[in-house]
Amino acid sequence: MTILYFTGTGNSLAVAKRIGASCGGETAKLISIPQCIKSGDYAYSDEVIGLVFPTYCCYFPRIVREFLPKAKLAASYLFAVSTYGNGMGRGGDGGEMIEFERYASGLELKMDYCNSILMVDNFLDAFDIGREIERVPSKRIDEHIERIAADIGARRKYVKRAGVIGKALTRMCMPLVKAQDRGETCKKFSIDERCNACGTCAQVCPRGNVAVSEAPRFGRNCEGCYACVHACPRKAIHLKAEKNDLRWRNPDVSLREIVEANAR
Ligand SMILES: Cc1cc2nc3c(=O)[nH]c(=O)nc-3n(C[C@H](O)[C@H](O)[C@H](O)COP(=O)(O)O)c2cc1C
């Protein structure tokens, strides 16, 4: 089993690890999509190939859309799992996976299984991480990961569907996707005096969009994943709309793993 993943704050990598361990055992290969792009490795062949990534604005990330058209994936079973935080726009109700299946089929990738899983929402503009952590038990994350892993283990054929509202809201979010695609989400970020130019923000950026000398400087190729904001050891990177300075990294993923996944 080969799982190609993208993660900003670890949720998607945690899911990829769990599916890999449960369905592929020790031979499962986990490969970061930013590293595939960096190395120019686009061809993968395995009995089972999966893609795991976060939901952004009820859609899937630009970096996944950069990778897939160039990718050559040869597998007898292809799956995709997105992680989402609150179903903003009810994206988690399947709107984005319908879109993903359609997008993949336009690239002649026939997806056997497309599902999504509710995790902690790292979208700081709207969600308080403290409140999100309180909600973890009610999200039944472990149970849902196990169910998805069992589906994949059984090679189930399934595409998560959305209701009318889910589909409509996914369409309504398209202007937000287009705005994020311009690569300037980082214009929302500000740096405070706690910054000691440690460079973590640059290391976790999947786009190599942050340069650090005396302070971080952001370019115009921001993925909008918020990895830099959440990973800053001094909580020195802020969003105007944030509720407080609580930040998130999935507890099953280390900072080193995010750096290894994303450093350019
Ligand atoms: C810019 C941005 C947009 C997001 N949009 C959505 C959304 O439309 N629906 C949703 O449920 N979660 C949304 N989220 C939350 C993430 O999808 C969720 O927290 C995901 O599990 C993060 O995965 P990661 O830890 O692998 O980066 C968004 C997060 C960010 C940073």
The model's pLDDT over 24-67, given as tens digits with 9 standing for 90+, comes to 898 999 999 999 999 999 999 999 999 999 999 989 999 999 99
The reported pTM is 0.97
| Binding site membership of 11 for ligand 1 (Cβ less than 6 Å) | yes
Distance between CA atoms of residues 262 and 259, nearest Å: 5
119 CA from centroid of ligand 1 (Å): 9
63 CA from centroid of ligand 1 (Å): 14
214 CA from centroid of ligand 1 (Å): 30
pLDDT digits (tens, 9 = 90+) for 155-203: 999 999 888 888 888 888 999 999 999 999 999 999 999 999 999 999 9
Going by their DSSP bridges, the two strands 72-74 and 48-54 should be labelled as: unpaired
Question: H or E stretch including 174?
Answer: helix 174-181
- In the predicted structure, residue 89 carries a pLDDT above the cut 50: no
| Binding site membership of 95 for ligand 1 (Cβ less than 6 Å) | no
| Binding site membership of 84 for ligand 1 (Cβ less than 6 Å) | yes
| Binding site membership of 34 for ligand 1 (Cβ less than 6 Å) | no
Q: Report the nearest atom of ligand 1 relative to the CA of 5.
A: 26
